[in-house]
């Protein structure tokens, strides 16, 4: 990355610079979308929710507007750095990029390279199972003078990283001081603490400084009800209470104090619920709360030139939301989702009194069902039609959209970037590139990457390289092939190979080279088009060393699991040079594959003979195609590694639901069940059944009498190995 001292916008306008804008010149970088992404606005989706607030304000007319880049260019997308499970990023005024990973590391990217030594490593202080970990980072608006870095992470202060247990892990917001490319761990000042993280998922974790100089923090609903861990998903009502910090946007001063301007800071009984000294007694509202009624507000962004805060809230089964942040606003979860009653796509309209609808919501019809990153395009960086446009991403379908204001005050969406891969674009942010700015985003796809989208007039080639082998005894003959490389503009390509062992370079798409000395070498192919743009691909070669052999011994390929069962992760690895590998040379990654279209992190840990508790599905709609994916990597003493994966399926059983008389409705784990249905459940999965006391059908009102199994109403039933049948009886 080219070092710049020009004024630039910090994290999603987090370091709010008002009218300071970068001069616009051309961008230059990598990988195109399939067929390229048109720089024109495109045709917006026809999806238009009813307007619930005026269109966003335009920037002040006296704001300086730099020249826009000329039209005729294209967007391209290129990998900048690779690291496992990246979660957030921020830019320093000198152009350095700070990247957080779920494991607790803060890495620095500077002058085109990811520095090898982490600036900060919170290992030993945090929980990283499920979706916990180091989740957010931002820099102080006066970072150039005070070097303050703010983080949001899951602390193991209570010595417990288990799910749904008392005195479990908590999320906290801390401030550190940076010195050069290092963050002093001893400088930590905890600003907010004791944000419950018992559920593992729905942590939120975004941090943003507003134009008021205050620090805004997004917090999820923790997935399950506090103290009633069987009521999860749509049954989770944590967001409905102002006496906890869950499902909220919080606002504090830079030193951790609660602003007097917060909506409930002066209310009788108000408490500083995130007080690092301990949660105050009482049931009064949490004074830190700015807005409430959210499920998992994953990312947020301030619109430049205004105080408008856009909040991306991940939905449950029906809608994804963009909310306009307002002091004291209640966005309705878990009563409402989108502009509708929870779980409905038809019972929609104006919200109940005291609640606020999103400014935009989209349903799950096209498999886009987890809104993530959001950012405003700085003026003058891309063609004029992009000035101040809000971009937002979806984790499941792997797209970035444009949010387009409509004439009636509503919004529509249009594709900006597609085919990013699942588990993509968890964070979007503009940062420096050459003499202007580009869009940077983080993705779990490809093993975890930082990528950059820029506006160019000649897109660089996309280099691709394979090798017949990458390790083995000497002499080691390898055939390298870059024939799958391509140029998005169709330009002819030439190839240059550097084998990394001091030998002469070679040309051609396919070459053969023999390594005669032992060592670890990086083979690099540079692909150049006829306008001089280049792309590179590298392969690591272990000459004189063979990669280890590894296998997963437990669970076996024929095993299945019951929810809540204790599972043992056991493997073995051997190496021709090292012999049997030690447990410390094994690393496990476990994830819950949600409907086989995206992943939820579950565990990342070195070692062997580890135990985990088998997870429940995310909901009743995720029982048929979800499973656990286990990955084991063995690494030998010289760095050669081998990875194997294995699916672990749940024990699926059928559960039948019905009402008497037929056609009435009741609720199972937040999902409405109408009439006779047979659904798939997992053995051990807790089903929460709730029947309305009375309901009307065809003009007749029916009174609830009881359940066919004699259980209470509501009742919690653990799915048995034989399945079950449940009928709500009315008269």
What is the pLDDT, as a whole number, of residue 197? 97
Residue with tokens 């301030």, as numbered in its chain: 302
Which of 234, 157, 177 has its CA nearest to residue 202?
A: 234
Band the pLDDT of 46: cuts 50, 70, 90. Answer: very low
Top pLDDT among 35 and 289 is at 289
H helix intervals, 526-574? none
**Rounded Cα gap, residues 637 and 406, in angstroms:** 60
Top pLDDT among 302 and 61 is at 302
3-state class (DSSP) for residue 445: helix
What is the pLDDT, as a whole number, of residue 133? 97
Residues making up the chain, counted from first to last:
731
Per mean pLDDT, which range of 71-85, 92-106, 113-127, 182-196 is the poorest? 71-85
What is the pLDDT, as a whole number, of residue 70? 65
State the burial class of residue 72 (Cβ atoms within 10 Å of its Cβ: 0-12, 13-18, 19+).
exposed
Of the chain, the end-to-end C-alpha distance in Å amounts to 71
Strand 207-209 and strand 215-219: the pairing is antiparallel
Contact 271, 286 (CB under 8 A): yes
Six-digit token pair at 525?
Answer: 């192919």
φ/ψ (deg, to 5) at 223: 75, -40
Span 328-336, average pLDDT = 98
Question: Does position 7 have pLDDT exceeding 70, yes or no?
Answer: no
3-state class (DSSP) for residue 716: strand
Dump strand ranges (E) for 10-53. Answer: 31-37
**Rounded Cα gap, residues 481 and 497, in angstroms:** 10
Bridge partners, 248 (sequence order): 219
Span 121-145, average pLDDT = 97
Question: Does position 258 have pLDDT exceeding 70, yes or no?
Answer: yes
Summarised one tens digit per residue, pLDDT across range 443-454 is 998 889 999 999
- Give the whole-number percent of the chain exceeding pLDDT 90: 84
Top pLDDT among 452 and 9 is at 452
Span 253-261, average pLDDT = 98
Question: Does position 509 have pLDDT exceeding 50, yes or no?
Answer: yes
Question: Does position 57 have pLDDT exceeding 50, yes or no?
Answer: no
What is the pLDDT, as a whole number, of residue 9? 33
Q: Around Cβ 409, how many Cβ atoms within 10 Å?
A: 13
What is the pLDDT, as a whole number, of residue 43? 33
Average pLDDT score, the chain:
90
3-state class (DSSP) for residue 365: coil
Running DSSP on this structure, what letter comes out for residue 214? P
Span 36-65, average pLDDT = 32
Summarised one tens digit per residue, pLDDT across range 704-720 is 999 999 999 999 999 99
Span 390-409, average pLDDT = 97
Question: Does position 537 have pLDDT exceeding 90, yes or no?
Answer: yes
Summarised one tens digit per residue, pLDDT across range 544-594 is 999 999 999 999 999 999 999 999 999 999 999 999 999 999 999 999 999
Cα torsion through 256, 261, 266, 267, rounded to 10? -110
Contact 650, 617 (CB under 8 A): yes
Band the pLDDT of 492: cuts 50, 70, 90. Answer: very high
Summarised one tens digit per residue, pLDDT across range 139-189 is 999 999 999 999 999 999 999 998 888 889 999 999 999 999 999 999 999
């Amino acid at each position: 990355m080219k070092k710049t001292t020009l004024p630039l916008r910090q994290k999603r306008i987090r370091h709010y610079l008002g009218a300071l804008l970068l001069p616009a010149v051309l961008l230059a970088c990598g990988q195109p979308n399939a067929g390229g992404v048109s720089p024109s606005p495109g045709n917006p989706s026809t999806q238009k929710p009813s307007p619930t607030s005026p269109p966003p304000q335009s920037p002040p007319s006296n704001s300086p507007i730099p020249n826009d880049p000329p039209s005729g260019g294209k967007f391209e997308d290129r990998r900048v750095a690779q690291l496992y499970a990246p979660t957030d990023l921020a830019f320093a005024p000198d152009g350095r990029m700070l990247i957080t990973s779920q494991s607790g590391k803060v890495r620095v990217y500077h002058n085109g390279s990811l520095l090898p030594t982490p600036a900060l490593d919170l290992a030993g202080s945090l929980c990283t199972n499920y979706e916990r970990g180091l989740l957010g980072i931002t820099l102080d608006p006066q970072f150039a003078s005070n070097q303050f870095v703010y983080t949001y992470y899951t602390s193991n202060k209570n010595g417990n990283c288990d799910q749904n247990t008392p005195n479990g892990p908590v999320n906290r917001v801390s401030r550190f001081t940076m010195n050069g490319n290092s963050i002093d761990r001893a400088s930590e000042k905890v600003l907010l603490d004791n944000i419950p993280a018992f559920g593992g998922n729905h942590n939120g974790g975004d941090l943003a400084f507003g134009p008021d100089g205050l620090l805004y923090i997004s917090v999820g609903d923790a997935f399950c009800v506090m103290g009633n861990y069987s009521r999860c998903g749509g049954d989770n009502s944590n967001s409905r209470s102002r006496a906890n910090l869950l499902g909220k946007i919080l606002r504090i001063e830079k030193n951790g104090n609660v602003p007097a301007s917060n909506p409930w800071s002066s209310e009788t009984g108000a408490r500083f619920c995130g007080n690092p000294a301990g949660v105050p007694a009482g049931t009064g509202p949490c004074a830190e709360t700015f807005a409430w009624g959210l499920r998992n507000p994953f990312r947020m962004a301030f619109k430049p030139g205004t105080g408008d805060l856009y909040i991306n809230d991940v939905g449950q089964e029906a809608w994804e939301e963009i909310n306009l942040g307002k002091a004291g606003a209640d966005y309705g979860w878990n009563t409402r989702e989108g502009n509708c009653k929870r779980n409905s796509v038809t019972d929609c309209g104006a919200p109940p009194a005291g609640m606020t609808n999103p400014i935009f919501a989209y349903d799950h019809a096209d498999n886009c069902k987890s809104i993530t990153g959001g950012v405003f395009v700085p003026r003058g960086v891309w063609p004029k039609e992009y000035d101040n446009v809000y971009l937002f991403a979806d984790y499941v379908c792997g797209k970035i959209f444009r949010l387009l204001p409509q004439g009636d005050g509503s919004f529509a969406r249009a594709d900006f970037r597609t085919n990013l891969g699942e588990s993509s674009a968890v964070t979007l942010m503009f940062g420096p590139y050459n003499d202007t700015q580009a869009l940077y985003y983080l993705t779990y796809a490809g093993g975890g990457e930082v990528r950059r989208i820029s506006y160019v007039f000649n897109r660089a080639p996309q280099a691709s390289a394979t090798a017949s082998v990458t390790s083995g005894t000497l002499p080691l003959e390898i055939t390298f092939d870059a024939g799958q490389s391509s140029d998005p503009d169709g330009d002819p390509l030439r190839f240059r190979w550097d084998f990394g062992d001091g030998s002469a370079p070679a040309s051609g798409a396919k070459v053969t080279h023999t390594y005669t000395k032992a060592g670890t070498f990086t083979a690099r192919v540079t692909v150049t088009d006829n306008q001089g743009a280049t792309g590179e691909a590298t392969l690591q070669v272990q000459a004189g060393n063979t990669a280890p052999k590894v296998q997963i011994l437990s669970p076996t390929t024929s095993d299945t699991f019951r929810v809540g069962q204790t599972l043992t992760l056991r493997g073995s690895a051997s190496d021709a040079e090292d012999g049997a590998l030690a447990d410390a040379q094994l690393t496990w990654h476990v994830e819950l594959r949600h409907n086989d279209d995206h992943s939820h992190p579950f565990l990342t840990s070195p070692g062997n003979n580890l135990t985990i508790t088998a997870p429940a599905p995310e909901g009743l709609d995720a029982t048929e195609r979800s499973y656990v994916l286990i990955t084991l990597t063995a690494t030998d003493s010289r760095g050669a590694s081998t990875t194997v994966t294995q699916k672990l399926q749940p024990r699926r059983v059928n559960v039948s639901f019905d009402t008497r008389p037929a056609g009435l409705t009741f609720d199972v784990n937040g999902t409405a069940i109408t009439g006779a249905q047979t659904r798939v459940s997992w053995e051990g999965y807790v089903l929460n059944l709730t029947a309305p006391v009375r309901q009307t059908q065809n003009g007749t009102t029916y009174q609830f009498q009881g359940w066919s199994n004699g259980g209470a109403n509501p009742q919690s039933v653990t799915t048995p190995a034989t399945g079950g049948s449940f009928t709500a009886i009315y008269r």
